[in-house]
Structure 1
Amino acid sequence: MQKLDYDQLTNCMRCGFCLPACPTFKETGIEAESPRGRISLMKAAVDGLMEPGIRFEDQMNHCLGCRACEPACPADVKYGQLIEGARDAIEVHTTQHRWWVKGVRKLVFKELFPSQQRMQLLGTGLHFYKMSGIQKLVRKTGVVGLFSKHMATMEKILPDASGKGIVERLGTFIPAKGKKLGTVGMFRGCLMDVLFTETNISTVKLLTEAGFDVVIPESQNCCGALHAHSGETDQAKQLAKSNIRAFQEAGVDYIISNAGGCGAILVEYDHLLHDEEEWKEDSTWFAKRVKDISTILVEKGRPLRYADTLSPQGPTRVTYQESCHLRNVMKGSQPIKQLLQRVSNTSYIEMKDAGSCCGSAGIYNMTQPDMANQILEHKMENVNATTASYVVTSNPGCLLQMKLGIDKHGQTGHMEAVHIADFLYDRLVKQS
């Protein structure tokens, strides 16, 4: 009762419009696997009609949190807020976690992700693992597969990590090329900065070419999305407050994200902190300034030219796998499609059900690998049908999941998953 908005629970009309939008319901056909079903379970727990035990907990955790149900809902039920509130309540009261699970959660959520220095140490360790020959030895011996087949599969698509993030590579201020149109703050992310440093660099360079001074506040930290989705709401709030301070002090016009999962919580900092009156004005200031890299390029930036080299077979075929959070929360899918269609010598192929979840969903593909793989298999049917050479994504989790699907389906060498920022910057026609 303390964690859930009862008005939102009762706003659900049980109409069922959310059912065909929900990935887990589409896979199972079970009512409890739908947003309507999960809301019914939440209300029953709040009303005291059922004990929220382990089966209730499992059902809440089985939700991907993709929020595809929200655009489909005629009553505008804020399902994302409800599922996060339910998970928060579970974490406060649960006694189900084993001691080592609690230890891992504390290490990850309280010690690792909030600290950029520790994240960079992780990046350094992963870089050493790959460059020292240990990775080759591990793959040759198959030792990872002894612990988990899924872990062995995920290890195959591990990106090139780095202990040097974007600040170490470019500094904290990168001036605009040509006439300045504005000043933006770059949200570098935690995992983005160590696993996808080159994507962050591509993002900054696109922004400067489009006419923006780019500021990268060093004091920023993790966005708090994984914390909020996993029931660690108090920690998510602390991270949000730190980020708000960092970007306010930077004096930026906009705050740019290149990860749909991060952007979705950044744009909802005002809701995350809605019960703290002293943060109402500042959180609203922050949330209104958050934009995805594609949106700022289309709406505010200097028009840029992009061109691909013609292949012997004709224009390069490109498709787009939409980020759930960019589509359903930030409402930012159209700018990416517009940008892709501006790249000359390419053919944009619309993917069937491009907006359906790929099964990544933060760390869902690690905590719920069976369902994640089932969803990925159906996604790959639509990906393969495009016969595209490039599958463009706008979120690191989607990017890794697409790489995983391409590898599983033997498409490596014929098809490549790439982030929109990298795809565009590699094809940018530099201004003379």
Structure 2
Amino acid sequence: MVKHQLAYSETLNCVQCGYCLPSCPTYVTFKKETHSPRGRINLVKMAAEGRISYKDMEDSIDLCLGCRACETACPIGVEYGKILESAVAAIAEQREQEMTVRNRIIKSMLLNHVVPKNRILNAMGAGLAIYQKTGIQKIARKSGILKIIPENLGEFEKVLPVVQGAMQKRKRQKHYDPNGKQLYKVGFFKGCIMDTMFSSINTLSIKLLQSIGCEVTVISEQQCCGALHQHSGEIATTITLAKKNIEAFEQYHFDFIVNSIGGCGAMLIEYEKVFADDPEWAERAKQFSGHVVDISVILSKHDLPFTKEIISTVTYQPSCHMTNVQKNVKAPLALLKQIPGIQYVELQEKDMCCGSAGIYNIVKYEESMKILNNKMKYVKEINPEPAIIVTTNPGCHLQMKLGIEREGLKNEIRTVHLVELLSEACGISI
């Protein structure tokens, strides 16, 4: 018996107007009503009323990217995110009951004993660095041995970032003084996957914050934000991680809690919703989230010490959760346009999801690639051809790199995080 309650009352607010349809990547790509926001809302509504089973809505819910562009498009403010999360949790609970013991153990290990554990993630990062630096990666690629792994994993192996983080993290301090007069006291949220795969971006973020006068602290007590767990329906673990982060940062007095990860930032500012049934924790979550900002928000308010021109055409692929949840649209663009030498060219339909969406591009690889193909069509249409695609989230970063690889454009276009481009223009290196 599934106990998780669907967000039924929220489904009643949808008037099925269709304003959301052009903003939905799965509807635009697959042209099916069941793969649209209003179609999914209707399925959840019917499931809550007992007119269909939870299994009847599984395929539609599984195919949703969770980009929440429909919320931005909706003229009456339907809480699609809440409806989706309730459906994901209910389906996950049902699957848990049907899952074999072996698969249940594997899922628990990944979500509860790998992603939230810094020690294990550090070991994985060190292993990846060894794989890259000792020549094993070159041998594996030349030998063709990678062909025996699933296609989706083999494709992503081609675009893995060069992992430099293991040594950086060992050298990382807890406290960093500002360059010059102190402007803000900042707590830096480093993330889990971000600090494993893209630790150099975190290091550059800290240096950029120092450059404008921030005192930066990287507290060791912080945990995974819980986004992957929430998107997988693991609500109990999500709540546990949220509580640990709130308790950890409450011990300090920061002006801002800063991150450079679109997806994590979106999760952190919505902690209050995780505690909808717990007023005491909801209030604590609200206080915590009130201090959370993306790094672009802080940097855009102050003059960066630019020392170098970037002579290149640049376009920007926003993170969906940055745009649709954090509502941070202007700051990244303002920063880009400040960089000396760049020619900014807007990407057509830039607000359409690239198809990354957490681990969507792994578990729904074929569908993700169809969505990515739509995105790359617009990248190729830009004239002159863009030399740099800027992102603000690690998942988007890898997805766009994969798109470039698939289109045979890796010698013409590079993908960078906004922090990397700003650091380059400021002469800041790791």
TM-score range, shorter chain: over 0.9
TM score, norm. by length of structure 2: 0.95
The CA deviation at 1:165 is 7.2
The CA deviation at 1:390 is 0.6
Q: Which residue of 1 aligns with 2:68?
A: 67
CA distance in 1, matches of 2:46, 2:18: 18
Q: Which residue of 2 aligns with 1:151?
A: 153
Q: Which residue of 2 aligns with 1:380?
A: 376
The CA deviation at 1:412 is 1.1
Q: Which residue of 1 aligns with 2:414?
A: 416
CA distance in 2, matches of 1:415, 1:307: 23
CA distance in 2, matches of 1:405, 1:307: 31
Q: How does 1:101-250 map to 2 (within 5 A)?
A: 101-162=103-164, 164=166, 168-250=170-252
CA distance in 1, matches of 2:258, 2:143: 43
Quick one: which amino acid aligns to residue 334 of structure 1? K
Q: Which residue of 2 aligns with 1:261?
A: 263
Quick one: which amino acid aligns to residue 306 of structure 1? F
Cα 1:316–1:62 change in 2 (3 A) is: same
Q: Which residue of 1 aligns with 2:400?
A: 402
Q: Which moved more, 1:380-389 or 1:253-262?
A: 380-389
Equivalent residues, number: 423
CA distance in 2, matches of 1:164, 1:252: 27
Q: Which moved more, 1:12-21 or 1:378-387?
A: 378-387
Q: Is the 8 A contact 1:122 1:163 kept in 2?
A: no
Q: Is the 8 A contact 1:172 1:215 kept in 2?
A: yes
> Gaps (5+ residues) in structure 1?
none
Deviation readout 1:6-36 (Å, 9 max, x if unpaired): 2211111111111111000001110000010
The CA deviation at 1:134 is 2.2
The CA deviation at 1:133 is 2.4
The CA deviation at 1:82 is 1.3
CA distance in 2, matches of 1:320, 1:306: 20
TM score, norm. by length of structure 1: 0.94
Deviation readout 1:235-286 (Å, 9 max, x if unpaired): 0111111111111112111111111010111000011122122212210111
Q: Is the 8 A contact 1:318 1:346 kept in 2?
A: yes
Q: Which residue of 2 aligns with 1:16?
A: 18
CA distance in 2, matches of 1:8, 1:403: 37
Quick one: which amino acid aligns to residue 417 of structure 2? H
Q: Which residue of 1 aligns with 2:345?
A: 349
CA distance in 2, matches of 1:398, 1:31: 26
Deviation readout 1:335-375 (Å, 9 max, x if unpaired): 11100100111111111011110010000000000110001
Quick one: which amino acid aligns to residue 407 of structure 1? E
Quick one: which amino acid aligns to residue 359 of structure 1? G
CA distance in 1, matches of 2:166, 2:135: 20
The CA deviation at 1:211 is 1.1
SS of structure 1 residue aligned to 2:171: helix
Quick one: which amino acid aligns to residue 423 of structure 1? L
SS of structure 1 residue aligned to 2:12: helix
Q: Which residue of 2 aligns with 1:303?
A: 303
Q: Is the 8 A contact 1:306 1:342 kept in 2?
A: no
Quick one: which amino acid aligns to residue 414 of structure 1? E
Deviation readout 1:30-89 (Å, 9 max, x if unpaired): 000001001111111110111111x42222111000000001111211111211111111
Q: Which residue of 2 aligns with 1:334?
A: 330
The CA deviation at 1:99 is 4.4
CA distance in 1, matches of 2:328, 2:118: 28
Structure 1: 4+ residue segments shifted above 3 A = 95-101, 307-310
CA distance in 1, matches of 2:243, 2:415: 34
Q: Which residue of 2 aligns with 1:427?
A: 425
The CA deviation at 1:307 is 5.2
Q: RMSD value over aligned CA atoms?
A: 1.6
The CA deviation at 1:143 is 2.1
> Gaps (5+ residues) in structure 2?
none
CA distance in 2, matches of 1:233, 1:254: 27
The CA deviation at 1:421 is 0.5
SS of structure 1 residue aligned to 2:132: helix
The CA deviation at 1:413 is 1.8
The CA deviation at 1:291 is 0.5
The CA deviation at 1:166 is 5.8
CA distance in 2, matches of 1:415, 1:131: 24
SS of structure 2 residue aligned to 1:164: helix
Q: Which moved more, 1:402-411 or 1:392-401?
A: 402-411
CA distance in 2, matches of 1:428, 1:116: 31
Cα 1:25–1:98 change in 2 (3 A) is: farther
CA distance in 1, matches of 2:394, 2:427: 25
CA distance in 1, matches of 2:103, 2:142: 30
Q: Which residue of 2 aligns with 1:85?
A: 86
Q: Which residue of 2 aligns with 1:323?
A: 319
CA distance in 1, matches of 2:316, 2:5: 37
Q: Is the 8 A contact 2:111 2:229 kept in 1?
A: yes
CA distance in 1, matches of 2:165, 2:331: 32
Quick one: which amino acid aligns to residue 74 of structure 1? P
